[in-house]
Amino acid sequence: MKKHIITSLLYTAVTAVLLGVVYPLAVTAIAHIAFPRQANGSLISRNGTLVGSHLIGQNFSGPGYFWSRPSAAGNGYDASNSGGSNYASTNTALATRVAASVQTLNPKGTNPAVPIDLATASASGLDPDISPAAAYYQVARVASERHISEDATRSLVSSHITTRQFGLLGEPRVNVLELNLDLDKLAPSAAK
């Protein structure tokens, strides 16, 4: 019996060291060597200042910026409180939030239908991307606020569309942070 207990404790200790220390360190080292940018969180810096991550959305509320999807994560884009609202489509709170988003985006009701991703939150609440339709929907507002042509703004959006990976995975998308950073280069604005 004593021999079995000692053997099981040794196996537990060896397994804990291999799988709890050696393996994570090896995978982390390989990731930092093979994919250093991704292993460090796909961080985006401008002029030596960290401005965000390619993988986590940010809240842009100024009229001169392209707006992200609404976030249900804490107070908005809070990675420590990530998660969707889990509201059913018949839930009154969801209907109220969607109606408020639509009213903000189309206050006079004269524009075409608001793209769904501008009115509903993503599953994680941290989605950094919007659909090309959602970006194009905002072109007139952003161009007017920045005093630049709609054609130049539309061209900027077009240059930021990421197509499906390998031609079939995912949907075409636009990273809002990267689009807004390039928008600031094209036509600087003080408001976020």
Q: How many folded domains does the chain comprise?
A: 2
- Residue 120: the pLDDT is 81
The residue range of the domain holding 18 is 1-40
Same-domain check for residues 169 and 130: yes
Q: CA torsion sign, 170 to 179 to 79 to 18?
A: positive
Same-domain check for residues 56 and 30: no
180 domain residue, yes or no: yes
The band of 154, judged by pLDDT with boundaries at 50, 70 and 90, is very high
pLDDT in tens, 94-109: 788 888 778 777 776 6
Alpha helices in the chain (DSSP H): 2-17, 23-34, 36-39, 92-105, 116-119, 132-137, 139-146, 150-159, 176-186
116 three-class SS: helix
Same-domain check for residues 115 and 168: yes
192 domain residue, yes or no: no
